[in-house]
Amino acid sequence: MDGYQEHDGVGLAALVARGEVTATELLDASLARARRLNPLLNAITVMAEEAGRSAIAEGLPDGPMTGVPFLLKDLGAEAVALPTTSGSNLYKGTVHTYDSEIYLRLKAAGLVAFGRTASPEFGIGPVTEAGANGAPTRNPWNTAHTSGGSSGGAAAAVAAGIVAVAHGSDGGGSVRIPASSCGLVGFKPTRARLPDGPGAGEGWAGMAIDGFLTRSLRDTAVLLDATAGPDLGAPYWPPPMAEGFAAAMNRDPGPLKIAYLTTSFSGDAVHGDCRKAIENTAAALEGLGHHVDEFRGTIEIRPMMRAWTNIVACGTALAVFARSKEPSAYEPKLDGVTRGAVRMAAGLSGADYLQSVSVVHAFGRQMAGQMADIDVLLTPTLAEPPAKVGRFRPDNEDFLDYRTGPDGVFAYSPFTAAFNASGQPALSLPLHWTDDDLPVGVHLAARFGDDALLMSLAAQLETAMPWRDKQLSLIRKLDT
């Protein structure tokens, strides 16, 4: 199909609904683009073409995304028809015996899933460079740079036009970091807004949640509306929304109190382009009638970051021990960072783990207090443009240093994990590019449960600071 790659998901679904194109033609176009671009990007790790063709042959449901090609992240979102590796040689060729609730909801929306996108091992990195994937996943804007992580394969595939929309997940920024890196929309809903079962009730003590990588805000809204709501037996769920995400896009949020930061929470400087992105966005928001001022609160981030690292180390060990508890059997199959996480977990007691959860929950209360008098907090998504490939390669076996060292992950991404810990809704929008065409995301977070308000504000920004033409410039460049 000519021009497939320039449509967003809602646009493709409209073509199918009008009979201008068939689901099979869309799948063929997506597969052709994947075959051409995936050797360059290494975005797709599991191809399951027959799963997509079988879904079409069986008859697609009438949903908001009927016929749209789709990719699941190679982590979570269990689906019988799509094997997974979880980014690990330990899980190579895993075939699930059940479909996850989020996959069933995506399937009911009419999406045609035909593969899985690259993830770092068990999702524990801000880049996608797992040894099990054979090569790093690269950024289509500049292949010397990372596409981000842990949903880096999804972001590369969407930015390059292989698919219009893709599944991701976010436990410390893993949707928002690749969205920033690849010039996309990445929305992390309020904790437990999306289902996590039946295989689990929560991930990483409630800090992890599914999400999507898209080029348009309306695609994100439609996908969130299609999947939101607790599944059976969910251990908890967030405040219900008075309106859906798509409806919120069409509502003026009214004048809001917005506070912004041009440094990290700890006062550390960020890259000049990240600062410029915030200054430009703050000016645009003020022009839209919002009250915009510098953030004057105090957020104690470092204790939370240490607790976050403890919890993720324990979660990683849980994933490894589900396959083997014998180091001589599992260690040779793991990346160095993963081995380090498992060893760190071994030095933590049950009391240490529970204390870490308590620190994270206390941080959520701190954030609620800090935002009592503001509606939205505006920061860069990352402290700098996307890193070069190899800078965060997964070979550092000191997991604490990898995460919190002076040149570690938290120095590079000092903002995103805060909102996994607090459970607040947060998103990255593609509002800035460097002079050499590297994307720089702008990050906005609202109070717990205020997903609709955040979506309304994001829609205002998409109109005031449109990004579609910039995204299409990359897609067209890849076509030359």
Long-range interactions of 315-320: CB distance < 8 A, separation 24+: 315/122, 315/203, 315/204, 315/205, 316/122, 316/124, 316/341, 316/342, 316/345, 317/341, 317/342, 317/345, 317/346, 319/86, 319/88, 319/122, 320/90, 320/122
Tell me the C-alpha distance between 365 and 360, whole Å.
Answer: 9
Tell me the C-alpha distance between 122 and 210, whole Å.
Answer: 14
Reported residue count of the chain is: 480
Tell me the C-alpha distance between 23 and 352, whole Å.
Answer: 51
| Angle in degrees, CA 88, 93, 96, rounded to 5 | 105
| Active-site option among 86, 88, 100, 150 | 150
150 catalytic, yes or no?
yes
| Active-site option among 30, 73, 181, 422 | 73
Give the three-state DSSP class for 121: helix
CA 55 to chain centre: 26
Query: How many CB atoms are located within 10 Å of the residue 391 CB?
Result: 14
The structure tokens listed for 250 are: 């069409």
User: DSSP assignment of 393-448, as one string?
Assistant: -TT---HHHHHHSTTSHHHHS-STHHHHHH---EEEEEEEE-TTS-EEEEEEEEST
Tell me the C-alpha distance between 36 and 370, whole Å.
Answer: 48
Largest CA distance in the chain: 61
| Active-site option among 174, 264, 413, 428 | 174
Contact 209, 194 (CB under 8 A): yes
Contact 402, 409 (CB under 8 A): yes
Looking at the annotation, which residues are catalytic?
73, 150, 174
